[in-house]
Structure 1
Amino acid sequence: MITESDRRLIELGYKPEFRREMSLFGVLGISFCAIGILTGSSAAFQTGLFSGGPLGLFWGWNICSLFMLFIALSQAEICSAFPTMGGLYFWVSKLKPELPFLAYCTGWIYAIAMTLTGTSGNLSVALFIASLAEVGSGRTLTRVEITAIAWGINILSGLINTVGTKAIGKMSNFNIWWTLGGTLVLVITLLVKAPVKNTADFVFTDLENTTGWSSKGFVVLLGFLQAVYSLEGSETAGQVAEEAVRAEWLAPLAVVGSIVGSWIIGLAYMLALLFSVQSITNIQATSFAIPIAQLYYDAVGERLALMCLAVICLAQFMAAVTAFTASSRLYYALARDNAFPAKGAFMALNRYQAPYVGVWMSVLIGCVVSCAYIGSVIAFNAILSSAAIAVMLSYLQPIMIRVFWPSSLKVRGPFHLGKWSWAINAISFAFSSFICVLFILPTAFPVNKNNMNYAVVSVGTIMMLVVTTWVFWGRFRYKGPVATSVVPSKRCSGSDEKIE
């Protein structure tokens, strides 16, 4: 019996290949896990603390969460109409089929971004482990040791993804409860054990500026990057749409729900951190691998700091695993449409229903990129910063099409924004464009070789690589989505019929 979701997939031109074993909770968990609210807020906390301080962190979080919700709504509307693997890439290919270059670039940039996001997450796990060693034993791990740990985490992420849909779905379910329970534990521990509680005046109005820039407004805006970095990843639900029951409903609900949940949980966690921070100077001068470890050490002591860091570390690992889930599915989708080489290899599924070649290519790239950390922390940070920018650039493509070509969404899914559609897309487009520019601006002044924001170089390199592959290979092979179903697509070729 063909389910409603499989029928829709066939109408879009694809033969169902995956078992639909993910419930709403599982799909929501994928997005929630990819966002990694505990981990993103912890790993990037010092960015906002030094650029705007508590004022920038609190107000930046709420402002950015609102705009990221608009972006999620824009994505959910498209996802409901096209609930297929490939996510952003497939959406662009259907919204603007006469410009295959846009879809090709979106797919490649997003695939690279997801792979680098997983790499970043796995190195963060290694840094949390290094911080645990420093707090617990006083031993400082070398860059080589931290990189070796990152290699092990990359390989473990690959093994888990190779097991397939059931394992990832169960892990995502567990992650929701771990994040909720972990946040509660962290908040209570901080507020109960911190020897000195900061005042509301400090939490909501204190402005900190260690950047060297004289413009207070610009400094606060730089602090916004912490919030945006922490909230990226909600669209990951679209990558597993072909593995979800009633994907036309569940995937868009997961995209939006993960942002709403992350906004609330992240706000509670951030307020606990701000009320409990003992010394911003100590955090800035810390020798710990992850600066937030110093905040916990000062606020709750050695033993409880170890517990808190372990909670965050496990959440970080699950988030990184999910990034490789997304990248492997995206490689599958690109290969299926002749937008990626070695089509047969990247479309091959093992007995666990996992596109294992894409999984292990992500692991290989992650291990290679992690080696850059040995030579230069600055170079490695530039590579990973480019991942956050690449994600926002990928967000920008389908939203831009919806703004400038409103009639491009010829098929409406059950999740639709109605008369508010264009306005929400326009707001999302403006914010995404603004963040893409903000991400590449220098974060310190005066600018020198040690504090230069090299993300613009790494992003430029990624874009040149993608354009080069298009010129010499892609334009001869990629013409748009390749139908694999035995039933021809009827509804996606121009009809304005609404799907219920």
Structure 2
Amino acid sequence: MDSIVVTDVRLADSDKRLHELGYKAEFRREMSLFGVLGISFCAIGILTGMSSAFQTGLFSGGPLGLFWGWNICSIFMLLIALCLAEICSAYPTMGGLYFWVCKMKPDIPVLGYCTGWVYAIAMVFVGTSGNLSVALFLASLAEVGHGRTLTRVEIVAIAWGANILSGIINTVGTKAIGRMSAFNVWWTLGGTFVLVITLLVKAPVKNSAAFVFTDYQNFTGWSNRGFVVLLGFLQAVYTLAGCETAAQVAEEAKRAELLAPLAVVFSIVGSWFIGLVYMLALLFSVQSISSIQTTSYAIPIAQLYYDAVGRRLTIMCLVVICVAQFTAIVMAFTASSRLFYALARDNAMPARGWFMALNRNQAPYVGIWVSVFVGCIISCAYIGSVVAFSAILSSATVATMLSYLQPILIRCLWPDSLPERGPFSLGRYSWPINVASALFTVFTCALFILPTAYPVTSLNMNYAVLAIAAVILLVGLTWITSGRRTFRGPVRTVEEEEGDGGKPETAM
């Protein structure tokens, strides 16, 4: 009985804080720390991100770039997580990055508007790319298991199925998402253990420590050793992006002002450690880097497994990664749909009533299915050009990092922009940590749009710069044509009645 009273008090405190920020509690608070942590952990997708992008670092710097790049980038991504967690603790709302920017710089509404839209597009891109990765893993399974090479049309059809299934699961509601995120945590931990043991036991040749920590490889064509190693950093940043997703379910979490920021930070800490263990197992077990570079498999890491553990165990390992990939990417559409809801709530979206509608499972279903529809359309780009689709994938990470940059840069330029502090605070270290995080974010955004191969041709050009420019242009046009007239920042959905003891009511 006492525990029920304590829980009710904590829920009341969380709803009170949400009320102070101007919003009526619309969602049931059903997520615990483990569930919220699972959301961010799933969004990062350490096992899947590492597996999908491993070849990027392997061909750009080799084991040397992979190992040191992973640890260096993890440190800076942890600093970014600390910055975001501090703001999240003060403003535990569904809008996340978008809402934080609006609250810290209310006199410049265009910053919040652009942050919200760029981040929403980034989440849809992330979900789309993740579901295509699911399709590519399944295509690799077909090649390894049955020797059948799937066509691009077949791969896109599978990606469509993954998109639709992601939408169905999200439509079921908060409980389903929380349980899936918890499942993903245990599946990733158990799956990583299985993969690591399988690789270390079955690999016929184990590489030396000198190879793992110092061997340099270059398949890029660039001659500058330092630049090549830096290109390998892209793998780490791509894998570790996503820690802020916990903020998107803050209004569905118990004691969100503490649990959401803790989830943001510990998802990076856990991913850093698990990713390091998995990476070391891969590096000690890789048999031939050149065979991975020339592989015919849809996902290059399938060749690494095939060379190290044989056909049957490769199938098992790919299944483990594929399941983790799908459960992780469901959370991208969770984030995008909640962000659409938050933008609509503040008059930053057309068809406001539709995007704010909740079904009986408390799911903002319109935002979910818009994400699915757009994801299916974008997936079709893979049929015409792998290069074009790769540009979309890279732009997703750039858009995410640019969204991180907005609140962090505000904290650097206007140190007093966060007058309200939550229970998670960096204290006197806040400003220097924000400065370091901002510099790293700018650096990685620049790195992601540079050509990764030389000589640069129309087939290997990094078109991410065009994709991200198109996103920025689209968002800018929406602001000029409609946003500047309708958007003034967060809109209160509750008002204090005079003399009623502070009971909230919907604003008219």
Is 2:312 the partner of 1:293?
A: no
Q: Provide TM-score, normalisation by structure 1.
A: 0.97
Aligned to 1:56: 65
- Within 5 A, what are the aligned runs for 1:79-228? 79-228=88-237
1:320 aligned to which of 325, 329, 333: 329
Measured in 2, the distance between the counterparts of 1:210 and 1:301 equals: 25
Q: Provide TM-score, normalisation by structure 2.
A: 0.96
Aligned to 1:497: none
1:409 aligned to which of 405, 413, 418: 418
Aligned to 1:426: 435
Equivalent residues of 1:15, 1:486 under 8 A apart: no
Shift of 1:222: 0.3
Structure 2 residue matching 1:486: 3-state secondary structure: strand
Measured in 1, the distance between the counterparts of 2:427 and 2:472 equals: 35
Q: Deviations over 1:222-242 (max 9, x none)?
A: 000000000000000000000
Structure 2 residue matching 1:44: 3-state secondary structure: helix
Structure 1 residue matching 2:495: 3-state secondary structure: coil
Q: Deviations over 1:186-224 (max 9, x none)?
A: 000000000000000000000001111111000000000
Measured in 1, the distance between the counterparts of 2:404 and 2:294 equals: 36
Measured in 2, the distance between the counterparts of 1:116 and 1:79 equals: 23
- Consecutive aligned runs of 4 or more in structure 1 exceeding 4 Å deviation: none
Measured in 2, the distance between the counterparts of 1:104 and 1:30 equals: 24
Measured in 1, the distance between the counterparts of 2:455 and 2:108 equals: 42
Q: Could you tell me the percent identity over the aligned residues?
A: 75
Shift of 1:245: 0.3
Aligned to 2:349: 340
Structure 1 residue matching 2:494: 3-state secondary structure: coil
Measured in 2, the distance between the counterparts of 1:256 and 1:320 equals: 20
Structure 2 residue matching 1:338: 3-state secondary structure: coil
2:448 counterpart letter in structure 1: F
Aligned to 1:354: 363
Measured in 2, the distance between the counterparts of 1:478 and 1:246 equals: 30
Shift of 1:385: 1.1
Aligned to 1:476: 485
Q: Deviations over 1:125-156 (max 9, x none)?
A: 00000000000000000000000000000000
Is 2:466 the partner of 1:461?
A: no
Aligned to 2:501: none
1:486 counterpart letter in structure 2: E
Structure 2 residue matching 1:208: 3-state secondary structure: coil
Measured in 2, the distance between the counterparts of 1:159 and 1:116 equals: 18
Equivalent residues of 1:109, 1:463 under 8 A apart: yes
2:78 counterpart letter in structure 1: L
- Within 5 A, what are the aligned runs for 1:362-401? 362-401=371-410
Measured in 2, the distance between the counterparts of 1:487 and 1:26 equals: 32
Aligned to 2:47: 38
Shift of 1:488: 7.9
Q: Deviations over 1:86-125 (max 9, x none)?
A: 1000000001000000000000000000000000000000
Measured in 2, the distance between the counterparts of 1:422 and 1:303 equals: 52
Q: Deviations over 1:272-315 (max 9, x none)?
A: 00000000010000000000000000000000000000000011
Aligned to 2:81: 72
Shift of 1:320: 1.0
Measured in 1, the distance between the counterparts of 2:155 and 2:454 equals: 30
Is 2:288 the partner of 1:279?
A: yes
Q: Deviations over 1:11-50 (max 9, x none)?
A: 0000000000000000000000000000000000000000
1:146 counterpart letter in structure 2: I
CA RMSD of aligned residues (A): 0.9
Aligned to 2:502: none
Shift of 1:319: 1.3
1:243 aligned to which of 249, 252, 268: 252
Aligned to 2:278: 269
Aligned to 2:4: none
Equivalent residues of 1:10, 1:487 under 8 A apart: no
Measured in 2, the distance between the counterparts of 1:368 and 1:329 equals: 21
Measured in 2, the distance between the counterparts of 1:185 and 1:4 equals: 42
Aligned to 2:506: none
Measured in 2, the distance between the counterparts of 1:384 and 1:342 equals: 28
Measured in 1, the distance between the counterparts of 2:177 and 2:497 equals: 32
